[in-house]
Amino acid sequence: MTTPARYAVVGRPIAHSLSPRIHAAFARETGIALTYTAIEAAPEEFEAVLAAFVAEGGRGLNVTLPHKERAFALCAEATPRARAAGAANTLTWTGGGWHGDNTDGAGLVRDLTERRRHDLRGRRCLLLGAGGAARGVAPLLLDAGVSELIVVNRTAERADALCLALGEPARARARYWDDLDALGDFGMIVNATSLGREQSRVGLPFGLVAPGHCLAVDLSYGEAAVPFLAWARAAGCADAVDGLGMLVEQAAESFQRWHGVRPDTGPVYAALRARADALATAD
């Protein structure tokens, strides 16, 4: 009997990662034999953990906080979308080095446009944050056809750097957090900050929300998404979406890269959503 191919997600903290559960479900659904584990690694251990994984026959890794930029930096080759993000969440061992991809932005757009049937084209979009999560989704939001992408970050220099890297000065521009009141209203607001992990309330102006058709998205899920989504509903957003669908879709993109098959994400998403709802009710 041949040993199943090895895959894993690496991050810190990693104990609560849903990726092993998602990839196991995809493997069952597609009949592909694999193992997929979670590996905890501190930043200083990252390179050594990857070397050990390859030495043990590992083929592919998902990379999550806080390693996505580091992962990209050690790739011998990378997709344009990983280069645009300067961050990789999907590593594939080629035999001589790592190939890097970033499936986060594609996962987000697929969740919003195909599962939820939102049309992103022509929307004026506010992107809050300029860290790894924001960099992963920004190029794909432009590709999806938003009319403007206004990037606002607590540390203004990071927003400037992100917009410079996007290379579309006519559509993607940085603005100051202190000027949020003066930016007008938006048809889409994406929270890519870790604000919700630190604070129970987000003090954003309600005037950011275009009445009747604003889509609010938090890239995180569970407890971390609660403050922003509560704000979005109170502010009158037409829809307020967490990052659970994006998580499942980015995993499907990684799965397709590794195994050449796109899994049906519907059943896994439905199961995780039911679990998340049950946990929220139990709180």
Kindly indicate which of the ranges 71-79, 99-107, 129-137, 253-261 contains the residues binding ligand ATR, using the contact rule CB under 6 A. 129-137
* Of the residues 88, 130, 174, 189, which one makes contact with ligand ATR according to CB under 6 A: 130
* Of the residues 89, 193, 250, 254, which one makes contact with ligand ATR according to CB under 6 A: 193
Say how many C-beta atoms besides its own lie within 10 A of residue 132's C-beta.
Answer: 24
Distance CA 150, CA 114 (A): 24
154 marked among binding-site residues? yes
Contact of 7 with 58, CB cutoff 8 Å: yes
Question: Considering the complex, what minimum distance in angstroms separates the CB of residue 20 from ligand ATR?
Answer: 20
When asked if residue 8 is in the footprint of ligand ATR (CB under 6 A), the reply is no
* Of the residues 58, 131, 139, 243, which one makes contact with ligand ATR according to CB under 6 A: 131
Q: What element of type H or E holds 40?
A: strand 34-40
Distance CA 72, CA 56 (A): 22
Kindly indicate which of the ranges 45-53, 100-108, 187-195, 257-265 contains the residues binding ligand ATR, using the contact rule CB under 6 A. 187-195
Question: Considering the complex, what minimum distance in angstroms separates the CB of residue 130 from ligand ATR?
Answer: 5
Number of residues this chain uses to bind ligand ATR (CB under 6 A) = 17
* Of the residues 70, 115, 154, 173, which one makes contact with ligand ATR according to CB under 6 A: 154
* Of the residues 65, 226, 230, 238, which one makes contact with ligand ATR according to CB under 6 A: 65
Listed in sequence order, the residues at least 6 apart from 76 whose beta carbon sits closer than 8 Å to its beta carbon are 94, 96, 97, 98, 99
When asked if residue 126 is in the footprint of ligand ATR (CB under 6 A), the reply is no
Distance CA 246, CA 66 (A): 18
Whichever of 34 and 225 has its CB closer to ligand ATR, that residue is: 225
250 marked among binding-site residues? yes
* Alpha carbon distances (Å) from 218 to 3, 58, 94: 39, 32, 34
Whichever of 192 and 251 has its CB closer to ligand ATR, that residue is: 192
Q: Which phi and psi (to 5°) does residue 190 adopt? A: -115, 120
When asked if residue 243 is in the footprint of ligand ATR (CB under 6 A), the reply is no
Question: Considering the complex, what minimum distance in angstroms separates the CB of residue 102 from ligand ATR?
Answer: 12
Q: How big is the CA angle at 198 (ends 196 and 200), to the nearest 5 degrees?
A: 60
Of 6, 68, 99, 135, which residue is the catalytic one?
Answer: 68
- What SS3 state is found at 237? coil
- Name beta bridge partners: 153: 176
- Residue with structure tokens 């129970």? 200
Q: Which token pair is 276?
A: 């998340």
- Residue with structure tokens 């993109």? 253
Contact of 208 with 189, CB cutoff 8 Å: yes
The residue of the chain with the least Cβ separation from ligand ATR equals 131
Question: Considering the complex, what minimum distance in angstroms separates the CB of residue 159 from ligand ATR?
Answer: 8
68 is catalytic: yes
Active-site residue list: 68
The binding site for ligand ATR (CB under 6 A) comprises: 65, 129-134, 153-155, 158, 192-195, 198-199
- Residue set of the binding site for NADP(+): 129-133, 153-158, 219, 243
